[in-house]
């Protein structure tokens, strides 16, 4: 469908070398967009995704940038515009999480989490919006948040706080940028099969327990998030701003899971 086409668009995806970010980058490229990937340390993986984008006939570049180094983000966005000629879509995907009890959270952990998960996306959005405003043709900013921005989880206090903050950042930017034709929305994944979640120090039984509490009965795929991002980035989502799409297989819809305990009508 033409309404989902991103032909001629240029996109920047932070944390695009692996996991959700990699699938987001590929989904956007398949829809027709040129892609710039920001990565922190995994150059080989970033180059592989950039190569896959190029194999689809799109332009691609991979730029090393820790989004927590906020002072450098303006110059990094300038490099993206130089490489792709424009910037139409920003996907703030890069993020970190530490599974740690509240009592053991240090100032360093809290500061790093908020810097990468909130300050980085905020100032990356600020730099991207400057280019979008200068061109005067609107744009899209899409924040990959989490179901943790709506319902908390134990052992993830800094992460929960950061994702809740990003939901309010999303709404705030939508209000200020809306008059300029720039929409700002979030995609909030639930339990997705990615490295950031699968490497947590949890007993193996947790994953069966998790699936029992997801109405669709499975963990999400990174691709499930990528297709939601394409929708919001395209003309099909042009009148949506300040909103969120929750991609969780129905997890948050089930307040008190009980289906496995149902004994039938009496």
Structural domains in the chain plus CATH codes: 2-248 (3.40.50.720)
Contact 7, 32 (CB under 8 A): yes
Q: Kindly report, residue by residue over 40-67, the tens digit of the pLDDT.
A: 988 999 999 999 999 999 999 999 999 9
Residue among 159, 162, 186, 234 flagged as catalytic: 159
9-45 in b/e burial notation, b at 16+ Cβ within 10 A?
Answer: bbbbbbbbbbbbbbbbbbbbbbbbbbbbbbbbeeeeb
Q: Kindly report, residue by residue over 3-30, the tens digit of the pLDDT.
A: 899 999 999 999 999 999 999 999 999 9
In three-state form (DSSP H/G/I as H, E/B as E, the rest C), the secondary structure along 53-112 is HHHCCCCEEEEECCCCCHHHHHHHHHHHHHHHCCCCEEEECCCCCCCCCHHHCCHHHHHH
Q: Is the pLDDT of residue 1 over 60?
A: no
* Distance from C-alpha of 155 to C-alpha of 7, rounded to nearest angstrom: 42
Q: What is the pLDDT of residue 196?
A: 66
209 tagged catalytic: no
Please name which of 161, 164, 175, 79 lies closest in space to residue 124, comparing C-alpha atoms: 79
pLDDT above 70 coverage of the chain, percent? 98
Q: Kindly report, residue by residue over 92-141, the tens digit of the pLDDT.
A: 999 999 999 999 999 999 999 999 999 999 999 999 999 999 999 999 99
> At 142, is the secondary structure helix, strand, or coil?
strand
Q: What is the pLDDT of residue 197?
A: 64
Residue among 17, 163, 186, 234 flagged as catalytic: 163
159 tagged catalytic: yes
146 tagged catalytic: yes
Residue among 14, 17, 125, 146 flagged as catalytic: 146
Contact 91, 145 (CB under 8 A): no
């Amino acid at each position: 469908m033409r309404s989902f086409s991103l032909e001629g668009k240029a996109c920047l995806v932070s944390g695009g070398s692996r996991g959700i970010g990699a699938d987001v980058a590929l989904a956007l490229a398949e829809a027709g967009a040129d892609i710039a990937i920001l990565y922190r340390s995994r150059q080989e993986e970033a180059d592989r995704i950039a190569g896959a984008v190029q194999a689809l006939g799109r332009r691609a570049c991979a730029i090393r940038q820790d989004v927590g180094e906020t002072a450098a983000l303006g110059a990094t966005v300038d490099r993206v515009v130089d490489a792709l000629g424009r910037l139409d879509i920003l996907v703030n995907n890069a993020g970190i999480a530490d599974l740690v009890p509240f009592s053991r959270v240090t100032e360093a952990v809290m500061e790093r989490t908020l810097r990468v998960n909130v300050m980085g996306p905020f100032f990356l959005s600020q730099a991207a919006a400057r280019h979008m405003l200068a061109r005067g043709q609107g744009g899209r900013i899409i924040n990959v948040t989490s179901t943790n921005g709506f319902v908390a989880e134990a052992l993830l206090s800094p992460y929960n706080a950061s994702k809740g903050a990003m939901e309010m950042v999303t709404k705030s930017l939508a209000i200020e940028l809306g008059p300029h034709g720039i929409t700002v929305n979030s995609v909030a994944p639930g339990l997705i099969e990615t490295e950031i979640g699968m490497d947590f120090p949890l007993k193996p039984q947790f994953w069966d327990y998790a699936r029992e509490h997801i109405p669709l009965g499975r963990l999400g795929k990174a691709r499930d998030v990528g297709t939601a991002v394409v929708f919001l980035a395209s003309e099909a989502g042009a009148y949506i701003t300040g909103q969120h799409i929750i991609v969780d297989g129905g997890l948050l819809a089930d307040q008190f899971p009980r289906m496995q305990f149902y004994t039938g009508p009496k």
